[in-house]
Amino acid sequence: DQQVKQNSPSLSVQEGRISILNCDYTNSMFDYFLWYKKYPAEGPTFLISISSIKDKNEDGRFTVFLNKSAKHLSLHIVPSQPGDSAVYFCAGSGGGADGLTFGKGTHLIIQP
């Protein structure tokens, strides 16, 4: 059973427009969610996170929204830039030390 789902394997957005990446989860025990960005041949790097007690967290061009009743979160990137082209992973944390549960990732392509 996939606990974190990213249903869009890829997304293409024009430079300067908004990119919206979606993530759904099934595990109600998750109390913290994170987004990671990954370039080819590199390890994932932390982008932004949100606690389950909040519904929005903003950091510069990046905003994450959490809808607990729908078990859905989204990452908004405004405006999108060429350097944002990467694979984005959504991850959930249950509060323990046993790592993160990752989605399969969404490949974001920013077109000039």
Residues of this chain that bind other proteins (CB under 8 A): 4, 6, 9, 31-32, 34, 36, 41-46, 49, 51, 89, 93-105
Q: Taking the CB of residue 69, how many other CB atoms lie within 10 A of it?
A: 5
Q: Which is nearer to other proteins, 79 or 100 (CB)?
A: 100
Shortest Cβ 48–other proteins spacing (Å) = 10
Shortest Cβ 39–other proteins spacing (Å) = 10
Shortest Cβ 15–other proteins spacing (Å) = 27
Q: Which is nearer to other proteins, 16 or 95 (CB)?
A: 95
Shortest Cβ 42–other proteins spacing (Å) = 6
Give me the phi and psi of 77, to 5 degrees please. Answer: -120, 115
> Could you give the C-alpha distances from 56 to 17, 45, 94, 96, in angstroms and in order?
20, 20, 19, 23
Q: Which is nearer to other proteins, 88 or 110 (CB)?
A: 88
Q: Which is nearer to other proteins, 70 or 97 (CB)?
A: 97
Q: Are 22 and 7 in contact (CB under 8 A)?
A: yes
DSSP string, 41-67: TS--EEEEEEETT-SEEEETTEEEEEE
CA distance linking residue 7 with residue 13, whole number of Å: 17
